């Protein structure tokens, strides 16, 4: 059996609901977030943003701003030398425009000044001459031959001839004979859908504090999902060596994918370099909406054939995604995820990325999947209604399982979709009678889950405590989960372990906190680092006892002679070995560095009961249950939290949230008043039912849990509303005016 393979075991600590180590700091206001640190001599940085969706920047005159007393530095695109690499150049160009404003809110200049007041006044003195260009913000309009071309030269070779000038990428997935599959169907439904761009809506705006010294060293403190990624991107954009830039992540006030890249960080570094003083930049909420990374906006066609007994014979989807004014590969994930819940003989998805004058997309919880699966699950539901079939039975009949060749290629190993569907079917929610006016919606969801590069150092202290150093910002309780896994493996109490998130100078490279990878991948590295430390501690015991290292085994937190032949010695606990470590060879630490694979895919099923107000078109969510396979729930509280939180975000996406652009190409709702995320009174209790179908690729069976939960709400709610109003809705969000329109046309 492989070293990392899952082994069934009884856990002592994993699976318990321990208090999180950062809890007290966070309930007392002591925790330090991105905007909280200060540095001696710190300046305030502010960014000037373009009011135009698309414009040539003819000239920028910064002389008056620079002359203003208290202004210490001004930065424009001219200060940056962009790397050759297209991916890096896009990130630099997005942080500070290079000759062209590509969307409303694009940064064109920045100042550092002694106070916010002076900085604000200085921005007003920067004179930018624009030549306004025709713009396009709608994905379908941007596909047309006559559409203004947002940027030339981004088109990849994958794009077939004849596509419009804004199409930059094409992808295709699937297998089987589509025509033969559709020919077997008793009914084929073909529908088109549109989904609005939404924003992650983290409550903490982006913030950073940069300090560059004259010898080229720099420190950067920021709220990020990945300090090592920030170091890579910023050192490339600044032309620095990675070792000279130390990035320290603060506590992070939400990210959901939106803090996986950089926006203000290179600007703060450049301002600090020019001013010779530390510079802090904190975004306003308006800036967060206009100039960070919302989701793709999409337009999707889905065609599904079904027999009258509910077997899907073929499925096809055409996905047009726009990730704003930049190359964007999210459509690949949409194309792969669209039909992942189903075991299909014939399936094909095709995807196009389309440029629009919108901000550069960033990840948002299962990027690309919610939109694609919303469209597919809507058509499946329509077919269930058509044939009068139970929507869960139909999904059970078609569900992907172990051995299924997935719609995106790989053959599935142990997966939890069937168990999740069965749990939903048996749950009291599914059999509860509906009240008059109520309707029920169901949807499946899927996410791949990632592994990735991860380092962990585990230090055994001489008093018998353990410090775990890891490199992934903790957004939802991961330090507790990592401490639990370290304590479990070492056989010591949870309270003896303290896990900290290191800066980039203190640990090897760790990928971003994304892809639901942290509990999985940092878990593997932690378990292996613990095993490394155990091996060393067994060696120390062997040395003390004068026996061979192989004759020592570790159980229940102590070294034991492996058998009667090894000799009779009383066990030595971790604390006892640690206490004498200076006499037996020095400090003891375990390490592990890995590019983790074996991430287990994750499935979920959501049930919703809702009511539509026929006069206003408003939808009230009355009951909501989430079923999801966690593999192994290391800390069930925070697994439930991920399931509930993703559901709440999905509910917002389904009902309210959208980027609204005017004819002028400007964002019309850049604030929480007009971009309305769910508030407490909008939501019912959200029940979370955890399934545990172990991931064969993790020693404890862990799968990621963070992302799948945002996928099913879109279709579950749409399916519920469609049943409530007797008309299939095909656009998100299903805001009251759209629902009213559907009611009137039903």
Partner 1 sequence: MSITVSTSVNGDAVEFVCPPEETLLDALRNRLGLTGAKEGCGTGDCGACSVTLNGRLVCSCLVLAAEAEGQEIGTIEGLAQGDKLHPLQQAFIDHAALQCGVCTPGILVAADALLKQNPEPSDEEVRFWLAGNLCRCTGYDKIVRAVQAAAAEMRRA
Which residues lie near partner 1 (CB under 8 A)? 17, 19-20, 22-24, 26-33, 35-36, 117, 200-205, 251-256, 282, 284-285, 475-477, 637-638, 640-641, 644-645, 647-649, 671-673, 677-683, 685-686, 688
For residues 360 and 325, is the Cβ–Cβ distance under 8 A? yes
Q: Which two tokens stand for residue 158?
A: 């994958």
What minimum distance in Å lies between the beta carbon of 650 and partner 1?
A: 10
Integer Rg of the chain from CA: 27
In the complex with partner 1, which residue's Cβ is closer, 198 or 261? 198
CA dist 67 and 111 (Å) reads: 12
In the complex with partner 1, which residue's Cβ is closer, 19 or 409? 19
In the complex with partner 1, which residue's Cβ is closer, 119 or 596? 119
- Which backbone phi and psi does 133 adopt, to 5 degrees? -115, 160
In the complex with partner 1, which residue's Cβ is closer, 201 or 351? 201
In the complex with partner 1, which residue's Cβ is closer, 202 or 494? 202
In the complex with partner 1, which residue's Cβ is closer, 19 or 726? 19
Kindly list the distances between the CA atom of residue 289 and the CA atoms of 54, 104, 369, 648, 675, in Å, as whole numbers in the listed order.
17, 10, 22, 19, 9
Chain Cα centroid distance, residue 20 = 22
Q: What is the DSSP string of 100-148?
A: EE-STT-EEEEEEESSHHHHHHHHHT-EEEEEE------HHHHHSTTSP
| Helix, coil or strand: residue 466 | strand
Chain Cα centroid distance, residue 714 = 17
In the complex with partner 1, which residue's Cβ is closer, 282 or 521? 282
What minimum distance in Å lies between the beta carbon of 656 and partner 1?
A: 13
What minimum distance in Å lies between the beta carbon of 202 and partner 1?
A: 6
In the complex with partner 1, which residue's Cβ is closer, 29 or 546? 29
In the complex with partner 1, which residue's Cβ is closer, 611 or 640? 640
Strands across the sheet containing 107-113: 71-76, 107-113, 43-49, 279-282, 207-212, 218-222, 245-249
- Which backbone phi and psi does 20 adopt, to 5 degrees? -80, 145
What minimum distance in Å lies between the beta carbon of 68 and partner 1?
A: 17
Tell me which residue has tokens 């919303």: 374
Q: What is the DSSP string of 505-574?
A: TSS-----S-TT-IIIIIHHHHHHHHHHHHHHHHHHHHHHHTS-GGGEEEETTEEEESSGGG-----EEH
CA dist 600 and 484 (Å) reads: 20
For residues 653 and 732, is the Cβ–Cβ distance under 8 A? yes
For residues 383 and 189, is the Cβ–Cβ distance under 8 A? yes
In the complex with partner 1, which residue's Cβ is closer, 435 or 568? 435
In the complex with partner 1, which residue's Cβ is closer, 171 or 643? 643
Helix (H) or strand (E) holding 497: strand 497-501
- Which backbone phi and psi does 589 adopt, to 5 degrees? -145, 150
CA dist 577 and 537 (Å) reads: 7
């Amino acid at each position: 059996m492989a070293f990392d393979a899952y082994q069934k075991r009884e856990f002592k600590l994993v699976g318990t609901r321990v208090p999180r180590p950062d809890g007290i700091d966070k309930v007392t206001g002591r925790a330090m977030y991105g905007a909280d640190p200060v540095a001696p001599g710190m300046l305030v940085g502010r960014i000037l943003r373009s009011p135009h969706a698309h414009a040539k920047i003819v000239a920028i005159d910064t002389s008056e701003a620079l002359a203003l007393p208290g202004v210490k530095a001004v930065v424009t695109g001219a200060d940056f030398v962009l790397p050759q690499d297209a991916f890096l150049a896009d990130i630099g160009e997005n942080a500070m425009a290079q000759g062209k404003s590509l969307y409303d809110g694009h940064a064109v200049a920045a100042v550092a000044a002694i106070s916010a007041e002076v900085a604000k006044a200085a921005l007003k003195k920067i004179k930018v001459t624009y030549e306004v260009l025709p713009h396009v913000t709608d994905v379908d309009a941007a596909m047309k031959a006559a559409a203004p071309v947002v940027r030339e030269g981004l088109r990849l070779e994958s794009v077939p001839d004849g596509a419009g000038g804004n199409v930059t990428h094409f992808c295709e997935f699937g297998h089987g004979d589509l025509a033969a599959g559709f020919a077997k169907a008793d009914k084929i439904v073909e529908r088109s859908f549109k989904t609005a761009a939404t924003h992650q809506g983290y409550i903490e705006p982006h913030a950073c504090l940069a300090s560059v010294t004259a010898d080229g060293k720099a420190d950067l403190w920021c709220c990020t999902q990945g300090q090592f990624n920030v170091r890579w991107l910023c050192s490339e954009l600044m032309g620095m060596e990675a070792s000279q830039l130390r990035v320290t992540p603060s506590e992070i006030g939400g990210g959901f994918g939106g803090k996986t890249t950089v926006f203000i960080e290179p600007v703060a570094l450049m301002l600090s370099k020019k001013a010779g003083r530390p510079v802090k930049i904190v975004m306003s909420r308006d800036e967060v909406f206009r100039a960070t990374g919302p989701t793709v906006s999409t337009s999707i066609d889905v065609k599904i054939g079904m027999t009258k007994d509910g077997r899907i014979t073929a499925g096809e989807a055409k996905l047009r995604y726009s990730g704003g004014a930049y190359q964007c590969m999210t459509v690949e994930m949409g194309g792969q995820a669209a039909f992942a819940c189903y075991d299909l003989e014939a399936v094909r998805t095709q995807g196009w990325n389309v440029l629009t004058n919108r901000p550069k997309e960033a990840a948002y919880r299962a990027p690309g999947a919610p939109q694609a699966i919303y469209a597919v699950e809507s058509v499946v539901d329509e077919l269930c209604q058509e044939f009068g079939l139970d929507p869960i039975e139909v999904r059970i009949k078609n569900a992907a399982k172990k051995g299924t060749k997935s719609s995106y290629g790989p053959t599935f190993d142990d997966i939890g979709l069937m168990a999740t569907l069965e749990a939903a079917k048996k749950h009291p929610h599914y059999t509860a009678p509906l009240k008059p006016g109520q309707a029920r919606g169901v949807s499946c969801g899927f996410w791949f889950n990632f592994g990735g590069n991860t380092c962990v150092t585990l230090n055994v202290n001489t008093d018998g405590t353990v410090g775990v150093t890891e490199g992934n910002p903790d957004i939802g309780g991961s330090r507790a989960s990592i401490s639990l896994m370290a304590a479990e493996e070492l056989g010591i109490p949870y309270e003896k372990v303290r896990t900290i998130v290191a800066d980039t100078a203190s640990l090897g490279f760790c990928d971003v906190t994304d892809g639901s990878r942290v509990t999985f991948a940092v878990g593997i590295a932690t378990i292996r680092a613990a095993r490394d430390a155990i091996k060393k501690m067994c060696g120390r015991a062997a040395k003390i006892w004068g026996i061979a290292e192989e004759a020592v085994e570790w159980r229940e937190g102590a070294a034991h002679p492996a058998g009667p032949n090894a000799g009779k010695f009383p066990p030595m606990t971790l604390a006892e070995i640690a206490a004498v470590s200076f006499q037996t060879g020095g400090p003891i630490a375990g390490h592990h560095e890995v590019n983790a694979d074996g991430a287990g895919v994750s499935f979920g099923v959501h049930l919703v009961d809702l009511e539509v107000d026929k006069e206003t078109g408003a939808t009230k969510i009355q009951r909501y249950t989430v079923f999801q396979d966690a593999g192994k729930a290391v800390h069930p509280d925070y697994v439930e939290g991920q399931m509930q939180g993703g559901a709440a975000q999905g509910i917002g996406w389904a009902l309210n949230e959208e980027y609204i652009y005017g004819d002028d190409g400007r964002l019309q709702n850049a604030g929480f008043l007009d971009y309305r995320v769910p508030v407490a009174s909008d939501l019912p209790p959200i029940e979370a039912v955890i399934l545990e179908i172990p991931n064969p690729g993790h020693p404890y069976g862990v799968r990621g849990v963070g992302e799948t939960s945002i996928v099913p709400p879109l279709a579950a709610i749409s399916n519920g509303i469609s049943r409530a109003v007797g008309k299939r809705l095909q656009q998100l969000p299903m805001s009251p005016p759209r629902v009213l329109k559907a009611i009137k046309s039903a």
